[in-house]
Amino acid sequence: MQAPSSPYPLLDSLTAPQQVKHFSPAQMEELAAEVRAFLITSVSETGGHFSSNLGTVELTVALFHHFDFLQDRIVWDVGHQAYPHKILTGRRDRFPTLRMHHGLSGFLKRDESPYDHFGAGHASTSISAALGMAKARDLQKQDHVCIAVIGDGSMTAGMAFEALNQAGYLVTKNFLVILNDNDMSINPNVGSLQGYLNQIMSGQYYHRWRERIEHAIKAIPIGGLSKGVAKAAKWSEESFKRLMVPGLLFEDLGFRYLGPVNGHDVDATSKALAEAKEKMKDGPVLLHVQTKKGYGYEPAMQDPMKWHGVTAFDAESGELIKVVVDPLKPAPPSYTSVFGKALVELARTDEKIVGITAAMLDGTGMNFLQKAFPDRCFDVGIAEQHAVTFAAGLAAQGMRPVVAIYSTFLQRGFDQVAHDVCIQNLPVTFVLDRAGIVGADGPTHHGLYDLAYLRCLPNMVIMAPRNENELRRMLMTAIYCGHPAAVRYPRGNGLGVTLQEPVVPLPLGKGELLREGEDLLLCALGAMVEPALKLAETLAQEGLSCAVLNARFVKPLDSVLIHAWADRCKGVVTLEEGCAPGGFSSAVAESLADAGLLRPLLRCAVADHLVQHGDPKRLLEEEGLSPEQLERRVRAFAAKL
């Protein structure tokens, strides 16, 4: 019986990506089709970033046709455009483990492959990193090419333009920036005229016209007349580009601008890259490539935002595979939605409340405010630094700004939080979603450091709710406390508690004693409060009496309550889903030491190392924060007292 033929004959034939250099245009087109088909099939089974990767298939194939990325260097911005890159660089067989524990990373990682030259999970870093590689190459007398692929909204960040500015100033040769313009960046789709302009600007007319002008100028004898003609020609060229080409900004920054080119036409993209290779011998080049998120898969093309990052789905029907929920036990609301709805409720009673987010309207729950009060909701794009200082400006003029940003992304605006908000003691509220271990996206996305990097800042108030009802109270507390304030909470659903009405603020800096005890004080924060209560119940059955304290505030810490119960107990246990250095446990330890209460202390927190990607429950277990591990650790700690 004859074995069935493979659906990926060209992919199967690749033993090294360098073979793509020898492919014909027809073979490259076929390879792109196979990569896309494999991508759809594989991600449908595992979930992952989807629509952005579908948009870079042809570009990736064309890049491997022209460059050898064991020698040349490429930096993919963010990394969620780089699944095709992974597929072509020997990792196709690992895709069934995508974003799983000890499996293939959803982003680029330097220790995963020699073809991953720079890791990333946050946006807008590619041009800076690739430029650094280019200058290192020059200083070491090497001659390979350095490429940055940016797009998918990443050009909204100021860092990208800082890097462009330096690259042009340095006249960096063999340096290529590829702007993957997928309608989430600079150039919106303007309909039927777009195709015509693409033909003009892809080099067929504009560059032919430019070369004729340059040839004509060189033929004119040197003198006053030629200077006048040259000046007029330069004015004419710039006027032409201002009218027809969206790349004058890049040329003014010192780049030779090429494009835009249809990024789903392998042959056209390949020819544009060939031209770029020649042009960048004289200085930096920016190639403008237009792509479509979700290209080649109709459901993703119709709703690219929905399909940006997906769970497993039926590839044939395009239906997401939903977790079966017992209709008699509906899932509690997510913390994100509880925040979004609570913000709208407060905004209805206070017209000074405004919302700000950085390209995460739906992800942060700010879409509720946008729908209710569109003129009081601001999406600034991927520009966290601007978001923070924009909020500071609003607060300085009497408004009550609420900035909703994932915990990991607020790191990008740390100086602005310190310099523009805290030093001036402006009442800006920071709502930090995805605090703690988030899972599949790994080290770049875990929200483990917010407590440490915010706790050191003067005037900052820091809170973490034990449930969704407390979240609503903390939001009100933060908005009206008169200081910079941060509320951090985990990804996912709440506990299903009853939402009390009306919402009332919490007393500033006051914790809550939930259970009395004599042997141990379990001092817990946020998502670790409920596990602490359950742990106390379990240990009580063994005769170990534990007091449980819901800290609520990391700053100002309720030292009076903590000291009182630490003094009654034999030992203290802190529980938090954050990094141990500088976090909540550090605050408790410092407070006890300052008061001379030198009690034995067990700090249950994430150790000083990177937490990799994987299932959150398994990661919590590895960090000693799962219910079973907490019970084991606390029991062993108590036995030594």
CATH number reported for the structural domain that contains residue 532 in this entry: 3.40.50.920
pTM: 0.89
The reply to whether 613 and 542 lie within a common domain is yes
What are residue 445's phi and psi, to 5 degrees?
Answer: -120, -15
Tens-place pLDDT, residues 391-436: 999 999 999 999 999 999 999 999 999 999 999 999 999 999 999 9
Share of the chain above pLDDT 90, in %: 81
Which one from 91, 400, 412, 466 is the annotated catalytic residue? 412
Among this protein's residues, is 351 annotated catalytic? no
Measured distance CA(529)–CA(465) in Å, rounded: 9
Tens-place pLDDT, residues 215-242: 655 565 555 445 555 555 554 555 544 4
Where is the domain boundary, 206, 228, 245?
245
Question: Is the pLDDT assigned to residue 187 strictly greater than 50?
Answer: no
In a domain, 321, yes or no: no
Where is the domain boundary, 302, 326, 350?
302
Banded model confidence at residue 211, pLDDT cuts 50, 70, 90 = low
Q: What is the mean pLDDT of residues 38-44?
A: 96
Beta strands 400-406 and 461-463 are: unpaired
- The pLDDT value recorded for residue 121 is 84
In a domain, 225, yes or no: yes
In a domain, 586, yes or no: yes
Q: By CB neighbour count within 10 A (0-12 exposed, 13-18 middle, 19+ buried), where does 409 fall?
A: buried
- The pLDDT value recorded for residue 1 is 47
Chain CA centroid to CA 580, Å: 23
The region that residue 181 occupies, defined by phi over 0 for left and psi between -120 and 50 for alpha, beta otherwise, is: beta
Number of domains in the chain: 4
Non-local CB neighbours of 375 within 8 Å, separated by 6+ positions: none
Distances (CA, A) of 346 to 327, 433, 482, 491: 31, 19, 16, 22
Measured distance CA(174)–CA(146) in Å, rounded: 6
In a domain, 149, yes or no: yes
In a domain, 94, yes or no: yes
Banded model confidence at residue 185, pLDDT cuts 50, 70, 90 = very low
In a domain, 493, yes or no: no
Q: Bigger pLDDT: 155 or 386?
A: 386
- The pLDDT value recorded for residue 153 is 77
Banded model confidence at residue 175, pLDDT cuts 50, 70, 90 = very high
Among this protein's residues, is 319 annotated catalytic? no
Which amino acid does the sequence have at 113?
Answer: S
Give the CATH number for residue 171: 3.40.50.970
Q: What is the mean pLDDT of residues 337-363?
A: 97
Among this protein's residues, is 384 annotated catalytic? yes
The reply to whether 37 and 16 lie within a common domain is yes
The reply to whether 279 and 403 lie within a common domain is no
Which one from 237, 275, 384, 468 is the annotated catalytic residue? 384
The reply to whether 367 and 354 lie within a common domain is yes
Question: Is the pLDDT assigned to residue 133 strictly greater than 80?
Answer: yes
- The pLDDT value recorded for residue 250 is 86
Tens-place pLDDT, residues 261-273: 999 999 999 999 9
Q: For residue 526, which of 546, 541, 547, 512 has the smallest C-alpha distance?
A: 512
Banded model confidence at residue 155, pLDDT cuts 50, 70, 90 = confident
Q: For residue 251, which of 181, 157, 177, 306 has the smallest C-alpha distance?
A: 177
Question: Is the pLDDT assigned to residue 528 strictly greater than 60?
Answer: yes
Q: For residue 40, which of 341, 296, 370 has the smallest C-alpha distance?
A: 296
- The pLDDT value recorded for residue 79 is 77
The reply to whether 482 and 597 lie within a common domain is no
The reply to whether 145 and 210 lie within a common domain is no
State the residue range of the domain holding 411: 335-488
> What tokens appear for 552 in the block?
């609520």
> Mind giving me the DSSP string for 598-624?
---EEEEEE-SS---SS-HHHHHHHTT
Which one from 86, 293, 434, 491 is the annotated catalytic residue? 293
- The pLDDT value recorded for residue 324 is 67
